[in-house]
Amino acid sequence: MSQSLLYHAFGVREGYEYRETLYEGGGVRFVLAVRPDWIKCPACGSQEINRKGRRFRELQTVPIGLKPVFLVTEVPKCQCAACGKRFEVSPPLPRRMSPTHAGSKRSSMTCAA
């Protein structure tokens, strides 16, 4: 699995790195971790951070063939060593796309018989 595929196929931008792929329950789960250089205190900007656990967030994305696909993202719980503030780190994930309406975009191709 490459970071490039996650970027181009699923819109996963900077802030996450690929860890593993799980094939469970007829679906595919791509497990992502927050890149350490993305973790800094929102209050003081320090990168001296102590991790205090984590939780996972699961987001369904576009299927691959008939298999449902999920992005499983780590959300680290942290505490700043400089100011003591506790926070979670959630780098940006792909935004929801608005649905397209059938027939709203017409093809410019014509059939020649």
Does residue 81 lie in a domain region? yes
Which of 93, 83, 85, 1 has the alpha carbon at shortest distance from 38? 93
The per-residue pLDDT for range 9-55, each reduced to its tens digit, is 677 777 788 889 999 989 999 998 888 888 889 889 899 999 889 89
Phi, psi values for residue 14, rounded to 5° = -60, 160
Asked if residue 63 belongs to a domain, the reply is yes
Q: What predicted TM-score, i.e. pTM, was given to this entire model?
A: 0.68
Q: Which token pair is 83?
A: 């100011």
- 43 within some domain: yes
In sequence order, what DSSP letters do the residues of 19-48 get, joined into one string?
A: EEEEEETTEEEEEEEE-GGG---TTT----
**What whole-number distance in Å separates Cα of residue 111 and Cα of residue 94?**
37
Domain membership of residue 112 (yes or no) is no
In a domain, 80, yes or no: yes
What's the number of domains the chain is made of? 1
